[in-house]
Amino acid sequence: MDLEACLGGSRGAGFGWSNMTTWKTGVTFRPESLSSWQFRAGYSQGDQPVDATDILFNIIAPGVMEQHLTFGATRMTQSGEFNVALMFAPEHKVSGASPFDPTQVIELRMRQFEVEFSYSW
């Protein structure tokens, strides 16, 4: 059995995602006047992992975003801390010809929002 021809193998069908470089930066700020608070912000920029030739299979996992913006805050108390975080990935799209009918164009488009809340003690 040739495992390299199986789904995800080097010669088999798969998502076709390539390696990508991602640059990230972030900052944390704790103001003196609000010593029980901590604020965070971050930015991430990466290359497109999906090639137009692999557009069909990526319909089930359209991870096409290239940028992420994040914001967060923590409120610290003697008994624990409350956290909130927000993430926004602006819309990005990639398109390519359908391998079943090259006259048809498949377009993947995605944007994401995320909100997280947590409390730890």
Question: Which residues in the chain belong to E strands, given as ranges?
Answer: 22-29, 37-46, 67-76, 81-97, 105-120
Q: What pLDDT, on a 0 to 100 scale, did the predictor assign at position 117? A: 97
The answer to whether residue 14 is domain-embedded is: no
Tokens encoding 103: 């006259």
Tokens encoding 71: 């914001």
Q: Shortest CA distance to 89 belongs to which of 107, 111, 72, 61?
A: 111
Q: What pLDDT, on a 0 to 100 scale, did the predictor assign at position 28? A: 96
The answer to whether residue 1 is domain-embedded is: no
Q: Shortest CA distance to 53 belongs to which of 18, 22, 90, 9?
A: 18
Low-confidence spans in the chain with pLDDT less than 50: none
What is the per-residue pLDDT across 17-40, written as a single tens digit (0 to 9) for each? 777 889 999 999 999 998 899 999
What lies within 8 Å, CB to CB, of 101 at 6+ separation is none
The answer to whether residue 11 is domain-embedded is: no
The answer to whether residue 6 is domain-embedded is: no
The answer to whether residue 113 is domain-embedded is: yes
Which range marks the domain in which residue 91 is found? 23-120
The answer to whether residue 13 is domain-embedded is: no
The answer to whether residue 2 is domain-embedded is: no
- Let me know if 94 is exposed, middle or buried by CB neighbors in 10 A (0-12, 13-18, 19+): buried
| pTM given for the model | 0.76
Tokens encoding 62: 């359209």
The domain total for the chain is 1
User: Which CA distances in Å does 98 have to 52, 73, 103?
Assistant: 9, 44, 7
| Cβ-contact 46, 23 below 8 angstroms | yes
The answer to whether residue 50 is domain-embedded is: yes
